[in-house]
Amino acid sequence: MRVSHLIPLYKSARFHDVIVANIEALVDPRDEIILSDRNGDKDYCKRLLRMFANRANVRVLLSDDNANWVENIAGLISAAQGRFLRILPHDDSIDKAGVEALVAVLMQDPGAAVAFGQTIAIGLDGQRIADRDELNLAEGSSTSRWVLEDILPMFWTGRFPGSFKGLVRSALAKQNALRFRATPGLMHSERAWLFALGLAGAFRYVPAVVLTKRYYPESTHRSWVKSPKAFTDVADLMTDYAKALLPSGELIEYASRDLALNAANAVAALRPQAARFRYQPAPDAKAEALRSHPLPGHMWGKM
């Protein structure tokens, strides 16, 4: 199996046309499509099962355990059988040519953990929302050495937007140390997981549109509010990943200090009249050498 396209469902009947269009666009015997509802929407899952009963590479998983969205996606990752996997939100639209471009990058670069591209934004009416596009125009398509500096500031600087819907090397995503885990309030869980993947391998940019994202008032992220706890929670989870993935105590100690420093600065920036937050590298006499440490090789040696 080549690619596992993973579609988490939640009250998804309203996006039926989008979901069906994605499944039809992904007709490829080398790939599989897995949909999962963990909130017991039996009627809609049965509807999908009837529609795609003759498609051996389409699976619909149903449970009424009321798992949250992180647990749902983690379960999909466990079920995936492809060499690569991709998370496809139920309300977004795939670009088939973009899929092939992402696959080509991971096939060509064995040190890459994630391939990502450009996302364009629309409303439910189909109208473009250009200021929400995630084009990543500052990224290059080079295969240069991947180092700690590339991923350590990622959360705080907002680098690699849209990469959560990129293509991921399944062998990495299925490692226990890289398990998709939730922050206590769920907020920023996906960015913490991207941080973990970046500790295991490079992110490679594809200069092509790979997804169309829909924005609307009920989107999950619209309910998220910046708070001190949200910042400390995500920093704690990223620190846990760093402890599990970095190859030396010195790197772990430095990364942990860097994450704690910037979490504290982000919390301080929430105060009235506070200066705007800016990422600050943790000071250290060996900071340059530590931040230049190459990352992917140690993981491949452990797998």
CATH number assigned to the domain comprising residue 62: 3.90.550.10
The label of the residue with tokens 């015997």 reads: 29
Q: Which two tokens stand for residue 225?
A: 């509010």
Confidence check: pLDDT of 219 > 90 = no
- Cα–Cα distance for residue pair 185/35, rounded to 1 Å: 24
Confidence check: pLDDT of 237 > 70 = yes
Instruction: Decide the pairing of beta strands 167-169 and 112-123.
Output: antiparallel
User: 42, 74 in Cβ contact below 8 A?
Assistant: no
Q: Which residues contact 158 (CB under 8 A, 6 or more apart)?
A: none
* Strand partners of residue 8: 36
Asked, for residue 298, whether it belongs to a domain, the answer is no
Domain closes at, from 41, 74, 92? 92
Structural domain that includes position 268 = 228-291
pLDDT confidence band for 57 (50 / 70 / 90) = very high
Instruction: Please compute the mean of the pLDDT values over residues 53-79 and round it to a whole number.
Output: 97
Name the helix (H) or strand (E) containing 102: helix 96-108
Write the CA distances from 97 to 90, 107, 139, 174, 241, integer angstroms. 19, 15, 20, 26, 33
Asked, for residue 222, whether it belongs to a domain, the answer is no
Asked, for residue 31, whether it belongs to a domain, the answer is yes
Q: Is the full-model pTM beyond 0.85? A: yes
Instruction: Please compute the mean of the pLDDT values over residues 145-164 and round it to a whole number.
Output: 96
Give the number of other CB atoms < 10 A from CB of residue 293: 17
Domain closes at, from 51, 77, 92? 92
Asked, for residue 147, whether it belongs to a domain, the answer is no
Confidence check: pLDDT of 193 > 70 = yes
Asked, for residue 142, whether it belongs to a domain, the answer is no
The label of the residue with tokens 């990058």 reads: 105
Of 131-135, 199-203, 293-297, least confident by mean pLDDT is 293-297
Asked, for residue 85, whether it belongs to a domain, the answer is yes
* Strand partners of residue 212: 93, 120
Domain total of the chain: 2
Q: Which two tokens stand for residue 97?
A: 């040519």
Confidence check: pLDDT of 299 > 70 = no
Q: Which residues contact 17 (CB under 8 A, 6 or more apart)?
A: none
Domain closes at, from 92, 125, 158? 92
Asked, for residue 283, whether it belongs to a domain, the answer is yes
- Cα–Cα distance for residue pair 247/255, rounded to 1 Å: 12
3-state class of 12 per DSSP?
coil
